[in-house]
A and B are shown apart, each in its own frame.
Chain A
Amino acid sequence: MTTRLHASDLAAQLADGSVTSVEATQAQLDRIAMVDGDLNAFLHVDAEGALAAAADVDARRAAGETLPTLAGVPIAVKDLINTTGQPTTAGSKILEGWIPPYDATVVARLRAAGLPILGKTNLDEFAMGSSNEHSAYGPARNPWDTGRIPGGSSGGSAAAVAAYEAPLALGTDTGGSIRQPGAMTGIVGVKPTYGGVSRYGVIAMASSLDQVGPMARSVLDAALLHEVIAGHDPRDSTSIDAPVPSVVEAARRGDVAGLRIGIVREFGGEGFQPGVQRRFDEAVAKLAEAGAEIVDVSCPSFQHGIAAYYLVMPSEVSSNLARFDAMRYGLRVTPEGNPSPSAEQVMAATRDAGFGDEVKRRIILGTYALSSGYYDAYYGSAQKVRTLIAQDFSAAFGQVDVLFSPTAPTTAWRLGEKSDDPLAMYLEDVCTIPANLAGVPGISVPIGLADDSGLPVGGQFLAPAQADDRLYNAGAALERLVPAPVLEEVAR
């Protein structure tokens, strides 16, 4: 059954001719038709486009052409990333039905490498959320228990990969939105170094934090996808013009003997679910048995990461989402009972009707944080905390090669459980946010099921900027020491 294969194994079967891309793509489409009614992982499925791309790859292979490694392996793309020929909604009503006139650079690279795009996956509106409950098109659900959230904001991508609807997916991570849903659905998720993957054509939430990255069912698969999408893009002024580290080679190596692994003292204890903490402690013990040197590390400023993040992020949100003004694209709503409204009134009515609660909350918070009289106290101070966090990372990476922590303090919660308490939801990102503030890369790797909830737990490695290969090396080693839990079937 090709839908259960890792992307690397499917690629090998495509290369040796034992399966065609059309067969593999059709199998994924059949799987989506079978389970997505329960999961709502996809907002749009493009069967015709995916099968045409697959047929093209099959024809080129049959003609003897040498193709890229992942050619013919189908993929799902988060609906925050622009795709020609398919809608891009950002999970918002304000962009319902909008079809971008150009491909994001990452999508252009997928197409060039021959990956058929199955469709667009569900997300918290404009990537704002930690549970996927803030999608205007209904929540995606966790395949381990459809009464629970899959994590957010790339929850649709995570659910799709975990439930065998796609072997690979793209997500975006602004405060943990690839790693946290990866952990909660038992798959691998990577936030590359900031600037390592182009953001051109990715709808911006918070530009100094957003990063596109791979989601997959193995560390090697994530590395193979990472090498397809990474690298300099002249269309993105924040794109790093330097060679991409050999992450595939690192994922094949997977050896922690002699590796210095720092355990962040501040990420544990109170607020961490006991079942999560136990799996994490076991993973640390196994890494030590395999020859890693475990070092206790303190990063005191990390505990202020959430406060700094919830100032920097909404400030950038309030600016980035100003472009949704009812003029150029998307929804336009005329205020009721006003036959000749002004542009301003149309804009205000459109943004009220088009944006959901969490988006409004963040835009207004950002408008306040940037307002005259409060700018220095809030935004200015948050930027300085960002510096302190970067300094903590520098000091830590002076002592150790990578840092290791739980990815999230809890396993997946029930739908609606935290909906009325935005602060409680924000606290779920405590372990992931520092990496976004400082721009360093992170990977979440499954480390088993929590004994108190029976749900997947993730372990997170963090590495210095542009040392993404260290994540793949450590992640692949951990994957061998602690095999990922296997989802038998979607649990209703």
Chain B
Amino acid sequence: MSSPLSREDVAHLASLARISLSDAELDRLGAELPAILDHVAAVQGVVESAGTDVAPMSHPVPITNVFRADEPTPGLSRDEALAGAPAAEEDRFLVPKILGEEA
């Protein structure tokens, strides 16, 4: 598959990934990503030439949900949980405002 990834496409992907990029970064990634995608696109041809019966493998070991017994165990104290936060107030995480920003 050809991957004509334009500078605008890279900017859109960056916004989806919540990363602001400078013009210089957009220029560089706009040049690098198509080259990388051209290389990795080879996987399609490999699968096609292998025939139809290849099951996808997401993980090297079988994955099942693991549940522990429903018993209370000690967790982090409030101070421990808040210690690494950029900001805290009244024993809670202090985060930027999100409500009403679209108005």
Contacts and interface: CB of A to CB of B under 8 A. Distances in A.
A342 interface: yes
A237 interface: yes
Interface residues of B, number: 57
A251 B11 CA distance: 52
Interface string B16-34: 1111111001001100110
B66 A364 contact: no
A439 interface: yes
Q: A-side binding surface: helix, strand, loop or mixed?
A: helix
Interface string A366-383: 011001000001101111
B40 A344 contact: no
Contacts of B13: 364, 367-368, 371
A69 B103 CA distance: 65
Interface in B46-74: 46-47, 50, 54-61, 63-66, 68
A423 B33 CA distance: 10
A5 B80 CA distance: 39
Interface residues of A, number: 71
Contacts of B95: 327, 343
B42 A304 contact: yes
B39 A310 contact: yes
A390 B76 CA distance: 40
A364 B19 contact: yes
Contacts of A397: none
A276 interface: no
A81 B101 CA distance: 37
A246 interface: no
A141 B36 CA distance: 27
A381 to B, nearest CB: 4
B54 A388 contact: yes
B79 to A, nearest CB: 9
Interface of B: 1, 5, 10, 13-22, 25, 28-29, 32-33, 35-37, 39-44, 46-47, 50, 54-61, 63-66, 68, 76, 80-81, 83-87, 93, 95-98, 101
Interface of A: 98-102, 194-195, 208, 234, 237-238, 240, 301, 304, 306-308, 310-311, 318, 322, 325-332, 335, 340-344, 346-349, 351-352, 355, 357, 360-361, 363-365, 367-368, 371, 377-378, 380-388, 390, 422-423, 426, 437-440, 465
The 4 closest A-B pairs by CB, nearest first: A439-B60, A383-B56, A332-B86, A329-B84
